[in-house]
Structure 1
Amino acid sequence: MTERSRIRVGVNGYGVIGKRVADAVAAQDDMVLSGVADITADWRLKMAARKDYALYASTEDRAAPMREAGFDLNGTLDDLLGAVDVIVDCTPKKVAAKNVEIYRQKDLRFILQGGEKHEVTGHSFVAEANYESAIDRKCTRVVSCNTTSTVRTLTALKRAGLLRRARGTLLRRATDPWESHLGGIMNTLVPEPEIPSHQGPDAQSVDPELDVVTMAVKVPETLAHLHYWSVQLTREASKAELLDAFRASSRIALIEIGDGLSAINAVKEMMADLGRPHDNLYEVALWADMLMVQGDELFYAYIVDNQAIVIPETIDAIRALTGREHDAARSIAATNRALGIGMVADSLGRG
Structure 2
Amino acid sequence: MKKVKVGINGYGVIGKRVADAVVLQNDMELVGVCDIVSDWRIKMAVDKELPVYAFDDAFKKEMTTAGIPIEGNLDDLIAQSDLIVDCTPKSIAAKNIEKYKASNTKFILHGGEKHETTGHSFSAENNYESAINLDATRVVSCNTTSILRTLTALKRADLLDYARGTLLRRATDPWESHLGGIMNTMVPERDIPSHQGPDAQIVDPELNVITSAIKVPQTLSHLHYWNVKLKKHATKDEVLNAFKTSSRIKFINYDEGLVSNNTIKEMFLDMGRPWGDMYEVAIWEDMLKVQGDELFYAYVVDNQAIVIPETIDAIRALTGIEKDGAKSIAKTNESLGII
Same fold (TM over 0.5): yes
Please, which of 281, 287, 298 is the counterpart of residue 301 of structure 1?
298
For structure 1, the residue ranges without an aligned partner over 5 or more in a row are 343-351
User: How many angstroms does 1:260 deviate by?
Assistant: 1.0
Residue of structure 2 in register with 1:44 after alignment: 41
Query: Where has structure 1 moved over 4 Å in runs of 4 or more?
Result: none
Q: Which residue of 1 aligns with 2:208?
A: 211
SS in structure 2 of the partner of residue 73 of structure 1 = coil
- Residue 120 (structure 2) pairs with residue 123 (structure 1): yes
2:55 and 2:125 mapped to 1: Cα distance?
A: 32
The answer for the alignment partner of 1:8 in structure 2 is 5
Q: Report sequence identity in percent.
A: 66
Task: Please give the alpha-carbon distance, in whole angstroms, between the structure 1 residues aligned to 2:180 and 2:145.
Answer: 25
Indicate the SS of the match to 2:295: strand
- The residue matched to 2:49 in structure 1 has which SS? coil
Which residue number in structure 1 is paired with residue 56 of structure 2? 59
Deviations 1:180-218 (A, max 9, x none): 011011111000011000000000111111000000000
Aligned partners of 2:132, 2:233: CA distance in 1, in Å?
Answer: 37
Residue by residue over 1:59-86, the C-alpha shift from the partner in whole angstroms, topping out at 9 and shown as x without a partner, is 2220101001001110001111111111
The amino acid across from 1:251 in the alignment is: R
CA displacement 1:102-130 (0-9 Å, x = unmatched): 11111110000100000000000000010
Shift of 1:255: 0.6
1:1-351 to 2 correspondences below 5 Å: 1=1, 5-342=2-339
TM-score w.r.t. length of structure 1: 0.96
Q: Secondary structure at the match of 1:184?
A: coil
Structure 1, residues 144-190: CA drift from partner, whole Å, max 9, x if none? Answer: 00000000000000111111100000000000111101101111100
Question: What amino acid is the match of 1:55?
Answer: V
> How big is each residue's C-alpha offset from its partner over 1:208-249, in whole Å with a ceiling of 9 and x where there is no partner?
110000000000001100000000011111000100111110
Structure 1 residue identity aligned to 2:307: V
Distance across 2 between alignment mates of 1:26 and 1:258 = 37
Q: TM-score, normalised by structure 2?
A: 0.99
* Aligned-partner Cα distance in 2 for 1:208–1:269: 37
The runs of 5 or more residues in structure 2 that have no matched partner are none
2:47 is matched by which residue type in structure 1?
R
Alpha-carbon distance in 1 for matches of 2:146, 2:57 = 37
Alpha-carbon distance in 1 for matches of 2:296, 2:128 = 28
Q: Which amino acid in the other structure matches residue 193 of structure 2?
A: P
Paired residues, number = 339
What SS is found at the alignment partner of 2:126? helix
Deviation (angstroms), 1:262: 1.1
Letter in 2 for 1:333: A
User: C-alpha root-mean-square deviation of aligned residues, in Å?
Assistant: 0.6
Q: Aligned partner of 1:144: which letter? A: S
**2: distance between equivalents of 1:61 and 1:151?**
41
Aligned mates of 1:27, 1:160 — CA distance in 2: 33
Amino acid paired to 2:234: A
DSSP 3-state at the match of 2:117 = helix
3-state DSSP of counterpart to 2:318? helix
CA distance in 2, matches of 1:42, 1:187: 31
Distance in 2 between residues matched to 1:244 and 1:288, nearest whole Å: 11
For residues 92 and 41 of structure 1, what CA distance do their matches in structure 2 show?
17
Residues of 1 paired with 2:224 and 2:30: CA distance? Answer: 34
C-alpha deviation, 1:258, in angstroms? 1.6
Equivalent position amino acid for 1:110 in 2:
F
